[in-house]
Amino acid sequence: MCGRFVLINSSDLRIRFRALVQDGPDPSRGFDPVLPDDPRLVSRYNVAPTQQVVTVTIHDGRNRLEWMRWGMVPYWAKAGDLPGNTINARADRLAQSGIWKRPLARSRCLIPADGYYEWTGAKTSRRPLLFRRRDRGLFAFAGLFDYWTDPDGKVVRSCAIVTTPPNRLVERVHDRMPAILSDEAEALWLDRQTEDVERLSALLMPYPDELMESFPVSPLVNKPDNDSPELVVPAGQQML
In a domain, 12, yes or no: yes
pLDDT of residue 237: 66
CATH number reported for the structural domain that contains residue 9 in this entry: 3.90.1680.10
Catalytic residue among 66, 118, 159, 186: 118
Q: What is the mean pLDDT of the chain?
A: 92
In a domain, 219, yes or no: yes
Which residue, 116, 121, 145, is CA-closest to 131? 116
> What span, in angstroms and rounded, lies between the C-alpha atoms of 177 and 93?
15
- The range of the structural domain enclosing residue 102 comes to 5-232
What Å distances lie between residue 175 and 129, 165, 207, CA to CA?
15, 6, 14
The yes-or-no answer on residue 2 being catalytic is yes
pLDDT of residue 92: 96
In a domain, 240, yes or no: no
- The pLDDT tens digits for 145-168 are 999 998 999 999 999 999 999 999
pLDDT of residue 60: 85
The yes-or-no answer on residue 118 being catalytic is yes
- The pLDDT tens digits for 28-78 are 578 899 988 899 999 999 999 999 999 999 988 899 999 999 999 999 999
Catalytic residue among 2, 66, 159, 186: 2
> What span, in angstroms and rounded, lies between the C-alpha atoms of 152 and 43?
32
- The pLDDT tens digits for 67-124 are 999 999 999 999 878 788 899 999 999 999 999 999 999 999 999 999 999 999 887 7
In a domain, 237, yes or no: no
In a domain, 128, yes or no: yes
Q: pTM for this one?
A: 0.95
In a domain, 164, yes or no: yes
> What span, in angstroms and rounded, lies between the C-alpha atoms of 27 and 2?
29
In a domain, 190, yes or no: yes
pLDDT of residue 200 exceeding 60 = yes
In a domain, 156, yes or no: yes
Helix, strand, coil distribution of the chain in percent, nearest 5: 20, 35, 45
Which residue, 129, 225, 228, is CA-closest to 177? 129
Task: Provide the number of structural domains found in the chain.
Answer: 1
